[in-house]
Amino acid sequence: MAVTSSMNHFNFPLAPSTEAENSLRAEVREFLQDEIKTGGFTPGADCWMSESCPEFSAKLGARGWLGMVWPKKYGGHERSPLERLVVTEELLAAGAPVAAHWIADRQTGTQILRFGSEQQRQSILPRMAAGTCFAAIGMSEPQAGSDLAAVQTKADKIPTGWRLSGRKIWSTGAHRSDYMIVLARTSPADGRNRQVGLSQFLVPLQAQGVEISGIKDIAGNVHFNETLFDGVELEADALLGLEGNGWAQCMGELVLERSGPERFLSNFVLLDRALISLRGQLDKHGAAILGELITTLNALRLMSRSIARQLENGLSPDTEAALVKLIGNSFEQDVVTRVRQLLSTIPRDQWPDELAPMLDQSIFRLPPGTLRGGTSEILRGMIARQLGMR
Ligand SMILES: Cc1cc2nc3c(=O)[nH]c(=O)nc-3n(C[C@H](O)[C@H](O)[C@H](O)COP(=O)(O)OP(=O)(O)OC[C@H]3O[C@@H](n4cnc5c(N)ncnc54)[C@H](O)[C@@H]3O)c2cc1C
């Protein structure tokens, strides 16, 4: 599937599923059903951000379902990105408590693999793959969200390594994490080119001078934080990759962050549970709404699979990832508003017990979807550039 325009095109080559993937899917599904039956977890919406359970992460690690694509010598399993996609799809569809390890498994581990020292790879990756070592993302700052190149956190060279000073905001899961990859300025911008002079650092969050304060979301829960670095002294190898290459490294990381199924499956568990109540209750109009949701979901799955295949082939499909996130976020909003609309014909006291809290949770968690990982306006700008419109 290739979407073309007069100026440029998006690449979404098809990636058909294999027998090995299908049997892996069945295995993961069976494990998750057993976990639910035996009280291992209660399914929740937006589970990759909000539902954290280190014990559950360790169970996935023991099964070989974390660090799946990393080399065996670093605790990984050398499976394909498409096999990893199968596992993440099933975890999200089940509403499993995956928030603790999500960022480490999705992007931080891969950044360490790409840019970390040998010592960091050997000491950190096996623990991440075991589901016992977690990570957070340190990009945004109070004055640098969409305009990421405006970061003011700085790292100065000192005889023993680096001294880090600054403040990161909205750091998801930092309060339960061991490491954060921090984007910091290591030298002044080159005139108007502010992307020059930025570097990434792998910061142990237990280091002296790191202060993490929770920020409550609209529902009163703490999932993200403000993280202060008050002259934190780091060893020389805390510099991840090359000095001054932080912008390019960050962009590569954002492809991993934007392209996955969590950008359209966060509310799948709600849709799934609502379907049980709606069976036999829908008129033609309701059935058409449901049909539209399901076809959009299938298209998004194909696109996400295609990106996983491209990553496997060493490509960096950043605009395609932006497209998946943009359409995915809008789909997630549709799921909640449409399900709410369809369920309105059934009195609330006739809904199964778990459905009402799930819908309430999903409504509260809708607004962040179009912000986290890059706002819809910024993604539209990237897509317009690819189409040659700006
Ligand atoms: C739930 C959640 C979790 C998050 N987790 C993390 C995390 O773990 N780590 C991390 O580093 N960050 C995280 N973020 C931060 C997120 O990446 C930023 O919120 C996002 O990049 C937007 O930045 P901002 O909030 O500063 O908004 P701003 O950049 O101030 O934008 C405000 C509004 O202006 C619009 N806008 C800005 N610039 C332009 C432009 N050039 N053209 C058109 N419109 C524009 C935006 O689209 C937005 O609607 C998280 C955010 C949320 C909501």
The pLDDT tens digits for 297-350 are 999 999 999 999 998 898 989 899 999 999 999 999 999 999 999 999 899 998
CATH number at residue 180: 2.40.110.10
The pLDDT of residue 353 is 87
Q: Please tell me what DSSP assigns to residue 107.
A: I
Q: Please tell me what DSSP assigns to residue 105.
A: I
Q: Which residues of the chain have pLDDT under 70?
A: 1-8
The pLDDT of residue 366 is 86
In this structure, the residue with its CA closest to atom 44 of ligand 1 is 377
Residue 186 resides in a domain: yes
The pLDDT tens digits for 341-377 are 999 989 999 898 889 999 998 998 888 888 999 999 9
Q: Is the whole model's pTM more than 0.85, yes or no?
A: yes
The pLDDT of residue 294 is 95
Residue 236 resides in a domain: yes
d(CA 60, CA 75): 13
Residues 39 and 158 in one domain: no
Residues 120 and 184 in one domain: no
Residues 305 and 191 in one domain: no
Residue 110 resides in a domain: yes
d(CA 27, CA 341): 35
Residues 275 and 379 in one domain: yes
Final residue belonging to a domain, choices 99, 133, 167: 133
The pLDDT of residue 8 is 64
- Assess whether the C-beta atom of 209 lies below 6 angstroms from ligand 1: no
CATH number at residue 96: 1.10.540.10
User: Among all residues, which ones are annotated catalytic?
Assistant: 257
Atom of ligand 1 minimally distant from the CA of 143 = 26
Instruction: Determine the structural domain holding residue 378 and report its residue range.
Output: 259-386
In this structure, the residue with its CA closest to atom 38 of ligand 1 is 146
Residue 4 resides in a domain: no
Residue 6 resides in a domain: no
Residues 279 and 195 in one domain: no
Question: How many domains, the chain?
Answer: 3
Q: Answer whether 299's CB lies under 8 Å from 334's CB.
A: no
Tracing tokens 């030298």 back to the chain, one arrives at: 187
Residues 236 and 307 in one domain: no
Residues 35 and 81 in one domain: yes
DSSP string across 213-224? EEEE-TTS-EEE
Residues 316 and 216 in one domain: no
Residue 9 resides in a domain: no
- Assess whether the C-beta atom of 135 lies below 6 angstroms from ligand 1: no
